[in-house]
Structure 1
Amino acid sequence: MVTEEMSVVDHLHELRKRLIIIIAFVSVAAIITYDKVYYLIKILLVPIAKYNLELVYFSLTEGFTTRMEISLFIGVIVTSPVILYQVAAFINPGLTKKEKKFLYKNIFFVSILFFGGLIFGYTLTLPYTLSFLISYGQGYMTPLLSGSTYFNFIGVFCFLTGIMFLIPYLIVLLSKISLLSSSKLKKWRKYVIIFILTLEGLFISNAGLLTCTLIAAPILLLYEISIWIVYFIEKRKEIIK
């Protein structure tokens, strides 16, 4: 009984250690970004440059909070490899030697895919999405963009695009080491939907139903495809046995 209690305490100490490291790295990155945020804002305004739109704010604190949100978001993105490593280090004691090797080997590929998804979302998908939404609305309304809504939209859009690139890869990896199964994925489907909709509600609640659907649909579709990939992998294993 004492051993179990000590084990739990040690586990909590390890969790605290990993969280402190993550918070420290994200904070430093966010502080550096905050100082240079205007250069970043110029880059983020490129997708709407041809529309000659000016961003506005509707509350006295919006300018400050928007700058803070951008800095924090970039801090998380830049330090995402560190975050992944700390998560891996936390679950490391519960894995076998083979599983540890497998996990650390794939952190690099996960990071590359995530950053690739961000770049893909910003350079290829985002301009077309913004063009469609702005052009569609201009048919009967004059666009007036809130700065916080615009930057939050870009952040969530690119982040979810990065996640889209990871979903099939991560799910297949976890299924290969028997940490996930198609039945579990089906069971979690409703929670994934709730999570995506909640994330959109927090950051782009003013974007409208169509925009939220355009962002959420590809992710949910990839999740569904991943379920079937894992299902066929399981069936193949059963045949081999």
Structure 2
Amino acid sequence: MSSAVKQNYTLFDHLLELRTRLLHAVLGVLVVFCSLIYFAQDIYQYVAQPLLAVMPEGTQMIATDVASPFFTPFKLTIVLSIFIAMPYILYQLWSFIAPGLYKNEKRLIAPLMFGSTLLFYGGIAFAYYVVFPVAFAFFSSVAPEGVTIATDISSYLDFVLKLFFAFGAAFEIPIAIILLCWTGVTSPDSLRAKRPYIVVGAFVVGMMLTPPDIISQTMLAVPMLLLFELGIIIASFYYKEDDGEETAPKEEQ
């Protein structure tokens, strides 16, 4: 068998494996979705609770589109299903890439994938339980006199999903720092020297990803700075370990 045929067969084999992993990931999301769809209205009610709790008495959320009462909870359930199935999706990703990794890479990547999932969930929980009550109370308190607060359910969902993704992504900072230091792109000492720029950058990112109020911006920027410091501390151990290693070829599995 020629080398060209062998390479084509290997590529085709990888594509089949990728398709299998993608199908398993989609199936996992569908299983979670089918388990949650019956509770779609209750799930939306729970997500809307931070706003409903601070709305003036006698006001309520509205639906400006005919199909919004159905499609908005449906959309939320799909997104929630992806969030819940994320560990299984990452497991499928790990199963696909693990055979091509060296042993030292597996020892790093596996904990990072697990940690990134927890950090993403932590960012969403922080947004819901800490940021939303403060931000929505602020928005309700600054409404002009004579203006009735009646938020559209679809607009509210888009707003909270944006914040969920913003805080979930921001909480991945330690993972990004560890990877940058481990790959040699930068070093913990270099990041410490750039700390003043990081502080400014954190508030700029907070301004871009959150509503235009200083409370939400600060509540995103401060955790980002704390996670930046945590990432430097953890990356220091990996960086020192790599410095002590010889430049010998990597050990294959």
Fold conserved between structures, TM > 0.5: yes
Question: Do residues 171 (structure 1) and 176 (structure 2) align?
Answer: yes
Question: Do residues 14 (structure 1) and 20 (structure 2) align?
Answer: no
One-letter identity of the residue aligned with 2:31: V
Which 5+ residue runs of structure 1 have no aligned equivalent? Answer: 183-195, 201-206
Percent identity of paired positions between Structure 1 and Structure 2: 24
The 3-state SS of whatever aligns with 1:55 is coil
Give 1:102 deviation, angstroms.
2.1
Q: How many residues are treated as equivalent by the alignment?
A: 218
4+ residue segments displaced more than 6 Å: 207-211, 232-241
In terms of mean alpha carbon deviation, does 136-145 or 113-122 score higher? 136-145
State the match for 1:83 in structure 2: 89
Q: 1 CA distance for matches of 2:242 and 2:96?
A: 32
Contact 1:57 1:63 in 2 (8 A): yes
State the match for 1:185 in structure 2: none
Q: TM-score, normalised by structure 2?
A: 0.69
State the match for 2:155 in structure 1: 149
The 3-state SS of whatever aligns with 2:66 is coil
Contact 1:117 1:163 in 2 (8 A): yes
State the match for 1:43 in structure 2: 46
| Counterparts in 2 of 1:165 and 1:11: CA distance versus 1, 3 Å | same
The 3-state SS of whatever aligns with 2:142 is helix
Question: Do residues 181 (structure 1) and 185 (structure 2) align?
Answer: yes
One-letter identity of the residue aligned with 1:25: G
The 3-state SS of whatever aligns with 2:54 is helix
| Counterparts in 2 of 1:163 and 1:54: CA distance versus 1, 3 Å | same
| Counterparts in 2 of 1:214 and 1:142: CA distance versus 1, 3 Å | farther
Q: Kindly indicate which of the two structures has a greater share of residues assigned to helix.
A: 1
Q: 1 CA distance for matches of 2:27 and 2:239?
A: 44
Q: 1 CA distance for matches of 2:160 and 2:185?
A: 33
Contact 2:29 2:82 in 1 (8 A): yes
- Pairs within 5 Å for 1:1-241: 1-48=4-51, 49-51=53-55, 52=57, 53-139=59-145, 141-168=147-174, 170-178=175-183, 181-182=185-186, 214=217, 218=221
Contact 2:25 2:89 in 1 (8 A): yes
Contact 2:123 2:170 in 1 (8 A): yes
| Counterparts in 2 of 1:177 and 1:10: CA distance versus 1, 3 Å | farther
Contact 1:117 1:161 in 2 (8 A): yes
Give 1:32 deviation, angstroms.
1.7
Which 5+ residue runs of structure 2 have no aligned equivalent? Answer: 187-204, 246-253
Give 1:72 deviation, angstroms.
0.3
| Counterparts in 2 of 1:87 and 1:167: CA distance versus 1, 3 Å | farther
Contact 1:99 1:177 in 2 (8 A): no
**Bigger Rg, structure 1 or 2:** 2
Q: TM-score, normalised by structure 1?
A: 0.72
